Amino acid sequence: MEVMTETKEKQTDPVIEHSFSTRLKEFGEDVEFHGVRHLFRDNSIVTKVTWILLFLCGCSWLTYQIHDRIIYYYQFPHITKIDKLYVPSLDFPTITICNINTFRRHKLNEYDLLHYGTSLNILDENWTLLHPEHYDKAFDDWVYSINWTDVEIHDRSINHSMEEMYERAGHQIEDMLIYCKWKQQECSVANFTLINTHYGRCYQFNSGKDGVKHQSFKGGKANGLKLYLNVEELEYLNYMEASDLGFKILAHDQDEPPLIQELGFGVTTGNHYFIALETERVTSLPDPYGNCEEDHKLDHYDHYSIPACRIECETLIVEEKCSCRLVEMHGDHGIRVCTAEEYHDCALPTLESITESDTCVCQNPCELTQFQHSISSVKLRESAVEMIHGHTSSNINLTEFKSVEFIEKNLLVVNLFFDSLNYQYIEQTVAYPGVSLLSDVGGQMGLCIGASILTVLHLVQFAIGEIIKKFQKRENKEVNTNVIHVASANPVDDKL
């Protein structure tokens, strides 16, 4: 009976092979691949070999092109488009103004000097005044007259607060703002909002905290903000940036906190500054095409920005290392303000190390509004004081400004405005999306071997059909073999 099985297999194999050859030939003559039809037609051997070589060359070039396009796709390239758009109005930025000097020396008391005199570089370790030549005689005499032993004794019963020191000794907007004008209307200290920064007490115009967002409908300095400012040079202390005299100013979005110590531009006394602003809106791509932050949540700010990220990072590091915070840092987690010793021994050195290192590196947000500026200036004359006589509600006695020397050391004028009603729009877009990859692959397939997606599907359909038929033939063969074995084991068949 084993002989009968082998005979059965030999009889069916040629049928299967012939059937597959026929179907393959029919497929080759019907498929739309370039040159494939010539392989199945009754041509000479030379013609068939030639078309085989040409087809293989086309497949090789196609493989190279597909490989090249896939590599390029996974490089995630992008392009940057820059456009300038003209609009009927522009949102005016928040203007943050900080006096470079943090504390007014005539508002400091002996307890302030006891706690912060050395860290502010006012006193040495023996409580002796450093650089007395930088101060007036009245301040020198007052420091030398302090009985430090008595101060130390009384200090034990006083709860010294750095927050109270900031409020009392910091520069006040009422003393610094001589005159203010927004467009054609006068403004006042009521239009400014207090904010604490690393420079101490700073003030913001158009902060948005009162629900107001100022807009400009024309370009030019007459349609912007004009400020007459008093730097209070006589109140300057000899510490930190003692060589600088003036203000730091920063124009920024309302949703962005001011990182003014790092990003602000400086203006000094005796000059009239014309600061032309230009709005720049940037749209960036997230990973993998770029490195912007798309959905980064911050604890203390509703909107992500580089300044917000850096300030929050600094806050968290100082809180972790010192178990306290600086006055200008958020304290909604119940973290108390640092004491004088913590400020001098821990918080200030930690903050300086953060600033000077690569710590607190933040990525750009995917949507960003920033304000570029260009500055020009002219010297102020004595007549500048006459222009503001009778138009100020500040606490300043303007008769002091009649001295040219006093004007050069204290007074400055700033105009901030849009030079024209347009903004620059910078947008990153995907340079090679998936659709382009498919288009290139399809184009190369059509060029090299005359194929399309439907041609490939035709090939896949043929291959799947042949696989199914192969399995069906194998199953039928196994069934037939089993039937023959069963029949040979039947005694009736043996007798027959």
Read off the pLDDT band of 396 (50, 70, 90). Answer: low
Return the structure tokens found at 242.
Answer: 């003692």
Q: Give the pLDDT band (50/70/90) at residue 148.
A: confident
- Degrees to nearest 5, angle at CA 315 with 120 and 174: 55
* pLDDT value of residue 112: 85
Q: What crossing angle do the helices spanning 453-488 and 2-30 adopt, rounded to 10°?
A: 170
Strands (E), 154-246: 177-182, 185-187, 192-197, 200-205, 215-216, 225-230
Average confidence score pLDDT of the chain: 83
Strands (E), 209-298: 215-216, 225-230, 247-252, 265-267, 271-283
Q: For position 468, what pLDDT does the model report?
A: 82
> Distance between terminal CA atoms of the chain?
14
pLDDT of residue 332 exceeding 80, the answer is no
pLDDT at 205: 97
Q: Per-residue pLDDT for 290 more than 50?
A: yes
Res 69: pLDDT: 94
For range 123-149, the mean pLDDT: 84
Rounded Cα distance, 294 and 291, in Å: 9
Top-confidence residue, 13 or 223: 223
Q: H-type helices in 381-489, by residue range?
A: 383-388, 404-410, 434-449, 453-488
**What are the two backbone dihedrals, phi and then psi, of residue 94, each rounded to the nearest 5 degrees?**
-75, 130
Digit-coded pLDDT (tens) for 236-250: 887 655 578 999 999
C-alpha to C-alpha distance for 195 and 471, rounded to whole angstroms? 79
Give me the percent of the chain exceeding a pLDDT of 70: 82
Under 8 Å between Cβ of 229 and 401:
no
- Judged against a pLDDT cut of 50, whether residue 3 lies above it is answered with no
Tokens (6 digits) for 453:
């997606």
1 has a pLDDT exceeding 60: no
Nearest to 345 by CA among 115, 112, 169, 158: 115
Q: State the CB neighbour count (10 A cutoff) for residue 126.
A: 7
| Cα Rg of the chain, angstroms | 41
* Residue-level pLDDT at 72: 94
372's enclosing H/E stretch is strand 367-379
Structural domains in the chain? 2-74+433-495 (1.10.287.770), 83-286+371-428 (2.60.470.10), 297-362 (1.10.287.820)
Burial class (CB in 10 A: 0-12, 13-18, 19+), 144: exposed
Token pair in block for residue 111 = 């307890």
Kindly report, residue by residue over 397-444, the tens digit of the pLDDT.
555 555 677 778 889 999 999 999 999 999 999 999 999 998 999 888
Question: What is the rounded average pLDDT of the residues 54-69?
Answer: 90
Share of the chain above pLDDT 90, in %: 39
